[in-house]
Amino acid sequence: MIEPEIALLLTRLLCLTMQLHALDQGDQPSDEVEWQLESVYKQVVPMIRPDLPYAVFCEGEVYSVWINADGVTFQAQAAMSDSLEATG
């Protein structure tokens, strides 16, 4: 189990990453979000093990999040009911 401070930073990092992606898709200004994202990234990187997936909750979903020197990668995890149906 990860420490609450790290969990909060990972959640913030994921939500900012998703927000930045949405802004970029809509050609909207994103400088403020980029600045916040960079700040949180610099805080969390020394606290975690790079390239390990972390389960992070954001916008009502659970995501696997990987952080490395290139940035943040995320993927939605299958809902529990979907997993049970797939294996049942």
pTM of the model: 0.80
Q: Regarding predicted confidence, which is higher, 31 or 78? A: 31
> Residue 27: what pLDDT?
85
Say if residues 63 and 76 touch (Cβ distance below 8 Å).
Answer: yes
Q: What is the pLDDT of residue 79?
A: 59
Mean pLDDT of 26-38: 91
Measured distance CA(1)–CA(31) in Å, rounded: 33
- Per-residue confidence (pLDDT) for residue 38, from 0 to 100: 94
d(CA 42, CA 63): 20
CA distance 39 to 86: 39
Per the structure, the count of domains in the chain is 1
Per-residue model confidence (pLDDT) at position 60: 87
pLDDT tens profile 35-56: 999 999 999 999 998 888 999 9
* Structural domain of 60: 4-87
Per cent of the chain over pLDDT 70 is 86
